[in-house]
Amino acid sequence: MKTIYDFTVKDRKGTDVSLSEYKGKVLLIVNTATGCGFTPHYDPLEAMYKELRDKGFEILDFPCNQFANQAPGSEDEIHEFCTLKFGADFPQFKKIDVNGESADPLFAFLATEKPFAGFGKGIKNGMLEKFANMNNKAFGDKAYIKWNFTKFLIDREGKVVARFEPTVDMGEVRKAVEAAL
């Protein structure tokens, strides 16, 4: 059975990183953007990382510019923004595509393991769903990720155990991470 340990990604400098380096850790893999309404998620993500990394927790940050061009900068510009504005200290990887023919294989795998199940109820969530559907129409059946700050929880065996859309309260995400630890 395939796990995330079967994938190799590129760090922000372009060096190959085998995800098998993270064996035995609980991971939260996130596609991010610096100019998104959900960018403030960096604050609770960093707080969670600081408090839980000594227990075997890692956050893997993958910037993506496929959602309304909300991550337009270079890897260095994005990294500088995240460290200066949010103090983000978790690993940040090369900017990738998460949808379409050029989708990173890791994200295609993650989304296949835990498909999109909706943004939830409420007016804001409904508006986001309409906007995301318009944005992702060009990707057809390869619209794996619906918006920035989609989070995938990976257990210590490398299995995808949960998917959190950006509309999920970060307190709920943290509870799931703590339970996995």
CATH number of the domain that residue 84 is part of: 3.40.30.10
Residues 53-74 pLDDT 10s: 999 999 999 999 999 888 888 8
Q: Which of 19, 30, 36, 78 is catalytic?
A: 36
Cβ atoms of 158 and 3 closer than 8 Å: yes
**What pLDDT is recorded for position 5?**
97
Pairing of strands 160-164, 151-154: antiparallel
Mean pLDDT along residues 146-169: 96
**What pLDDT is recorded for position 137?**
83
What is the extent of the structural domain holding 103?
A: 4-180
pLDDT at 171 over 90: yes
Instruction: Residue count of the chain, please give it.
Output: 181
**What pLDDT is recorded for position 14?**
94
Residues 12-25 pLDDT 10s: 999 999 999 999 99
Closest by CA position to 141, among listed 100, 91, 80, 81 = 100
Judge whether 64 counts as a catalytic residue: no
The total of structural domains in the chain comes to: 1
Q: Which residue has the higher pLDDT, 172 or 134?
A: 172
Q: Rounded to two decimals, what is the model's pTM?
A: 0.93
Mean pLDDT, the chain, as a whole number? 92
pLDDT band for 86, please (50, 70, 90 cuts).
confident
Closest by CA position to 53, among listed 177, 175, 147 = 177
Q: Report how far apart, in Å, the C-alpha atoms of 165 and of each of 1, 132, 144 are.
A: 25, 12, 12
**What pLDDT is recorded for position 74?**
84
Residues 94-123 pLDDT 10s: 999 999 999 999 999 999 999 998 888 877
The token pair at 143 is: 């619209």
Enumerate helices (H) and strands (E) in the chain, giving the number of each: 5, 6
